[in-house]
Amino acid sequence: MKNPLSDTVYHSRKITRRPDIRGDYFRDQTAIIHATPFRRLKYKTQVFFSPQNDHICTRIEHVLHVSTIASTICKGLDLDIELAQAIALGHDLGHAPFGHIGEKALNKLTSNIGGFIHETHSLKVVDKITRDGKGLNLTFAVRDGIVSHCGENFEQTIKPMQDYREVDDIGKRQKSSLTYEGCAVRFSDKIAYLGRDIEDAITIGLITIHDVPKIIRKNLGSTNGEIIDTLVKDVIKASKNEDHICFTDEKYELMVQLKEFNYTYIYHHPSIIKNNEIITRLLEQLYFYLIKTFKKGGFDQNYYHNTSMNLAKHFGNFIIKRKHLYEKSDHPERCVVDFIAGMTDSYAYDAARELMFPKAL
C-alpha cells in the first residue's frame, strides 16, 4: 500500500521545524500527549456520564484503544505505525463534554454560524486553540488524519482520497483520509468502541451479556478484547495485497448487527435518553449565559476580572489569550462554543451548578 502524495507533503508543517531524533510523527505524538486538551480527555464521557465509577470508559481510554488497534492493523499491513498512533492520540481532542450528545447539542445551538462537528473542531484545537492560541504545528498527515477520522460511518471498505486538498478548508465530515494510516484509524475508532460500550452497559446494569445476540457472541466474541481481536485480524486478513482497507463480508455483517444492537439497547435506552435531555438543557444554559456575557464584556479583560462568577472569569481568560482568533472573525461568538467544547464533563457540571444554585450565606 502506497499513499498517493509525496512524503514531502505528508511531513510538511505550517511552520518549518528542524528534524530531531524522534522523527516527525513521533514528535507529533509527544506534542499531543503534552497538550492540555489531551489531559482533559480523562474527564470526558465516552458514552456514559458516570464520574464516580472508575471502570467506565472515558475518552482518554478510548483514544488509547484506538491507538493500539490502529498500530496493530498498520503492523499487519506494513504501514507507518507512528503516523497512525499520532492520528489516533489526537483524533478526539475537539470532542465536546458528554460525548456525542454534547456534540449534538452544540451543533444545534450554533447552526446559524456553521454548526459544530467534533472532527473539524479537533483540527481547530491542534491548529489554533491549544497552547494559548499558538497550536501544536503538527504535520500535514496527522492533521489530515484527525479531521478525517469519522467513526460514525460504518463502511466495509475504505481507501485514501487521491487528490491533494488544503486541510484548513475542510468544514464538514470527510469520506476518507489522504493516507492509509488515517483510514486504519477510522476503522479502529469503530472497533474500539463497539465492544467497550457493551462492557460498560453491563457494568452499569443496562444489559447483560446474554442480551447480546448469540450469533455475535459466537462469531465476534463475548468480551471487548475478543471482539477487538476478531475484527483486527479480519481487517488485516481481508486487506492484505489489496489497494484498500476492508472487512470481510461475514465480519462486516456481524459488526453492523453489533452496531444495531448497541443503538437499540444502549444508546437509545430510556435511561440514556433521559440523561441526554438533561445534559442538553445543561449545555444550553451554559451557552446562553456565555453568549450574554460575551456581548457585555467583549474582549475587555477587566470586565471578566471583576465579575463574581468563576465561569465568567475562566471564559474571559480563555478568550483574551486567543483574542487574535476571534476579534476579526465574522462570528466572534464562536469563542463561546470553543470554550464549552473544551470543558470536561465535571467542569461543565460544576459551572452549571454555579449558574443555577444559590450560594450559601
Q: Work out the average pLDDT over 57-75.
A: 95
The kind and range of the H/E element at 194 are helix 180-203
Which residue type is seen at 157? T
- pLDDT tops 70 at residue 155: yes
CATH code of the region 7-269: 1.10.3210.10
Rounded percentage of the chain residues whose pLDDT exceeds 90: 78
Sequence-separated (6 or more) residues with CB below 8 Å from residue 98: 44, 45, 49, 105, 279, 283, 345, 348
pTM of the model: 0.94
Q: Would you place residue 175 in the very low, low, confident or very high pLDDT band (cuts 50, 70, 90)? A: confident
What are the tens digits of pLDDT across the range 3-60? 999 999 999 999 998 888 999 999 999 999 999 999 999 999 877 776 667 778 889 9
Domain boundaries, the chain: 7-269, 271-356
Calculate the dihedral angle through the C-alpha atoms of 337, 194, 82, 168, rounding to the nearest 10 degrees.
-30
- pLDDT tops 70 at residue 348: yes
Q: Would you place residue 90 in the very low, low, confident or very high pLDDT band (cuts 50, 70, 90)? A: very high
Mean pLDDT value across the chain = 92
Rounded Cα–Cα distance for residues 284 and 291 (Å): 10
